[in-house]
A and B are shown apart, each in its own frame.
Chain A
């Protein structure tokens, strides 16, 4: 469960999950929504996969991400969005300012 809290503590990852609520998207489509570098984005995806909140499947050359959240996790994300949850779990990605990072 701590993986889930860690994943939901970061606004970028919450935004990724919000985008995935509309339906499955490729890694490229998701990355295009953020002004962050590819490695940072990959690290965010890895955290979400680790928390089992998204499922990644390879489709040709691209990786398709789809939402894999239980109702409880969905509700937790809702709370996190409403209250702007920021929890410290030694999560370096969650504490760094990924939104402002420039793309290489």
Chain B
């Protein structure tokens, strides 16, 4: 019944990667120093603050997990920003970069969906009851993972002109299914 804690090295690594990418962006675009400083320091300061506040208390696992996720998202955005500024792979406007970004967004959805049923444990329990809330969390997790897969595959294999439309349609479809499922669950409770 003890909380399983992610080793501190993982969020630390995420913070270091974000810091390095922010530094690289600063190097490429020195005029926006404040912007890159905020981007580079927001994670170590935010996560570090919580780490000190929650030392030895429950909840540390969620903070570290969130720091890793936030770090990954920030790193993706900073990497694309650097690619754009340095005109790597044709910058943000090129087909290759668009595809890479689309696939990355799909992967983000997969990662979030995968951990959703595991880490959102008591979420909605009071609203609809533990069993229904658990079913909803599992459904939401699967929908996010499948939508992410669909989005990533669309950007990977379809022509650029259709990839955005199909990718968005897949994600929108998943959200509609989630809303319908939630409506059915809450309706069944009344």
Residues of A within 8 A of B (CB): 21-24, 49, 52, 55-58, 66-74
Other-chain residue from A52, A57, A68, A71 in contact with B113 (beta carbon distance below 8 A): A71
* Least Cβ–Cβ distance between B181 and chain A, in angstroms: 16
Interface class of chain B by DSSP: helix
Give CA–CA (A57, B121) in the complex, Å.
Answer: 12
Give CA–CA (A72, B121) in the complex, Å.
Answer: 16
B157 sits at the interface (CB 8 A) = no
Other-chain residue from B1, B114, B117 in contact with A58 (beta carbon distance below 8 A): B1
Interface class of chain A by DSSP: mixed
Who on chain A is nearest to B143 by CB?
A: A71
Other-chain residue from B130, B135, B142 in contact with A71 (beta carbon distance below 8 A): B142
A71 engages B145 (CB within 8 Å)? yes
B116 sits at the interface (CB 8 A) = yes
B4 engages A74 (CB within 8 Å)? no
Who on chain A is nearest to B146 by CB?
A: A71
B86 sits at the interface (CB 8 A) = no
Given contacts A70-B114, A74-B117, contact A24 B141 (CB under 8 A): no
B141 engages A66 (CB within 8 Å)? no
B131 engages A23 (CB within 8 Å)? yes
* Least Cβ–Cβ distance between B129 and chain A, in angstroms: 8
Given contacts A66-B121, A71-B142, contact A23 B114 (CB under 8 A): no
Given contacts A49-B1, A52-B4, contact A71 B134 (CB under 8 A): no
Who on chain B is nearest to A68 by CB?
A: B118
